[in-house]
Amino acid sequence: MNTIDTNQLLMQLRAAAAQARAGATEGVQTAQPASANFSSLLTQSIDKVNAMQKSSSSLATAFETGDPNVTLPQVMIAKSKAGLAFEGMVQVRNKMIDAYQEIMRMQV
Protein backbone atom coordinates (compact mmCIF):
# COMPACT_ATOMS: atom_id res chain seq x y z
CA MET A 1 0.00 0.00 0.00
CA ASN A 2 1.30 3.46 -0.85
CA THR A 3 1.77 5.99 1.91
CA ILE A 4 1.26 9.69 1.37
CA ASP A 5 4.10 12.01 2.30
CA THR A 6 2.25 15.06 3.61
CA ASN A 7 5.25 17.37 3.35
CA GLN A 8 5.77 16.53 -0.31
CA LEU A 9 2.05 16.91 -1.01
CA LEU A 10 2.01 20.29 0.71
CA MET A 11 5.01 21.45 -1.33
CA GLN A 12 3.29 20.37 -4.56
CA LEU A 13 0.10 22.20 -3.61
CA ARG A 14 2.05 25.36 -2.81
CA ALA A 15 3.89 25.16 -6.14
CA ALA A 16 0.60 24.71 -8.00
CA ALA A 17 -0.90 27.68 -6.16
CA ALA A 18 2.12 29.82 -7.06
CA GLN A 19 1.78 28.84 -10.71
CA ALA A 20 -1.93 29.67 -10.64
CA ARG A 21 -1.21 33.09 -9.12
CA ALA A 22 1.46 33.76 -11.73
CA GLY A 23 -0.95 32.78 -14.52
CA ALA A 24 -3.69 35.01 -13.11
CA THR A 25 -1.44 38.06 -13.10
CA GLU A 26 -0.52 37.64 -16.75
CA GLY A 27 -4.13 38.23 -17.79
CA VAL A 28 -5.34 37.63 -21.33
CA GLN A 29 -1.96 36.43 -22.58
CA THR A 30 -2.49 33.04 -20.91
CA ALA A 31 -5.72 32.29 -22.83
CA GLN A 32 -4.05 30.74 -25.87
CA PRO A 33 -1.56 28.47 -24.03
CA ALA A 34 -4.33 27.33 -21.65
CA SER A 35 -6.41 26.07 -24.58
CA ALA A 36 -3.40 24.24 -25.98
CA ASN A 37 -2.78 22.72 -22.55
CA PHE A 38 -6.40 21.59 -22.32
CA SER A 39 -6.14 19.94 -25.71
CA SER A 40 -2.96 18.08 -24.78
CA LEU A 41 -4.41 17.17 -21.38
CA LEU A 42 -7.52 15.74 -23.03
CA THR A 43 -5.42 13.78 -25.52
CA GLN A 44 -3.24 12.39 -22.73
CA SER A 45 -6.31 11.38 -20.74
CA ILE A 46 -7.80 9.53 -23.69
CA ASP A 47 -4.48 7.80 -24.30
CA LYS A 48 -4.29 6.73 -20.64
CA VAL A 49 -7.81 5.28 -20.74
CA ASN A 50 -6.93 3.44 -23.95
CA ALA A 51 -3.75 2.06 -22.35
CA MET A 52 -5.71 0.90 -19.30
CA GLN A 53 -8.19 -0.92 -21.51
CA LYS A 54 -5.43 -2.58 -23.51
CA SER A 55 -3.62 -3.60 -20.34
CA SER A 56 -6.81 -5.02 -18.89
CA SER A 57 -7.47 -6.97 -22.07
CA SER A 58 -3.95 -8.38 -22.17
CA LEU A 59 -4.19 -9.44 -18.51
CA ALA A 60 -7.49 -11.18 -19.23
CA THR A 61 -5.97 -12.97 -22.22
CA ALA A 62 -2.97 -14.04 -20.15
CA PHE A 63 -5.25 -15.40 -17.43
CA GLU A 64 -7.40 -17.25 -19.96
CA THR A 65 -4.36 -18.90 -21.52
CA GLY A 66 -3.23 -20.13 -18.11
CA ASP A 67 -0.36 -17.80 -17.26
CA PRO A 68 0.58 -18.67 -13.64
CA ASN A 69 1.76 -15.09 -12.94
CA VAL A 70 -1.72 -13.62 -13.47
CA THR A 71 -4.45 -14.13 -10.90
CA LEU A 72 -8.19 -13.62 -11.17
CA PRO A 73 -8.23 -10.72 -8.68
CA GLN A 74 -5.60 -8.90 -10.78
CA VAL A 75 -7.76 -9.31 -13.87
CA MET A 76 -10.93 -8.18 -12.11
CA ILE A 77 -9.24 -5.12 -10.60
CA ALA A 78 -7.73 -4.15 -13.97
CA LYS A 79 -11.12 -4.57 -15.68
CA SER A 80 -12.82 -2.46 -12.99
CA LYS A 81 -10.21 0.30 -13.25
CA ALA A 82 -10.51 0.37 -17.03
CA GLY A 83 -14.30 0.45 -16.84
CA LEU A 84 -14.31 3.31 -14.34
CA ALA A 85 -11.80 5.27 -16.40
CA PHE A 86 -13.93 4.81 -19.50
CA GLU A 87 -17.10 5.87 -17.65
CA GLY A 88 -15.30 8.97 -16.41
CA MET A 89 -14.18 9.80 -19.93
CA VAL A 90 -17.75 9.39 -21.21
CA GLN A 91 -19.01 11.75 -18.50
CA VAL A 92 -16.41 14.37 -19.45
CA ARG A 93 -17.44 14.02 -23.09
CA ASN A 94 -21.10 14.45 -22.17
CA LYS A 95 -20.36 17.58 -20.15
CA MET A 96 -18.33 19.01 -23.02
CA ILE A 97 -21.19 18.37 -25.44
CA ASP A 98 -23.64 20.01 -23.02
CA ALA A 99 -21.37 23.05 -22.72
CA TYR A 100 -21.02 23.27 -26.51
CA GLN A 101 -24.80 23.07 -26.97
CA GLU A 102 -25.32 25.75 -24.32
CA ILE A 103 -22.87 28.04 -26.09
CA MET A 104 -24.61 27.45 -29.43
CA ARG A 105 -27.96 28.40 -27.88
CA MET A 106 -26.62 31.77 -26.72
CA GLN A 107 -27.81 34.76 -28.70
CA VAL A 108 -25.19 37.17 -29.94
**pLDDT tens digits, residue range 87-103?**
999 999 999 999 999 99
* 47 closest CA partner among 97, 89, 91: 89
State pTM to two decimals. 0.60
Query: Residue type for 99, please?
Result: A
- What is the rounded CA–CA span in Å between residue 56 and residue 49? 11
Domain span at 62:
34-108
Could you tell me if 51 and 86 are in contact, meaning their C-beta atoms sit under 8 angstroms apart? no
37 or 63, which is more confident?
63
Query: Would 44 be classed as within a structural domain?
Result: yes
**29 in a structural domain:** no
Residue 15 lies in a domain: no
Number of domains in the chain: 1
In a domain, 66, yes or no: yes
pLDDT at position 17 over 90? no
**How high is the mean pLDDT of the chain?**
83
Contact by Cβ (8 Å): 56, 81: yes
For residue 51, is it within any domain?
A: yes
End-to-end Cα, the chain, rounded Å: 54
CB 59 within 8 A of CB 103: no
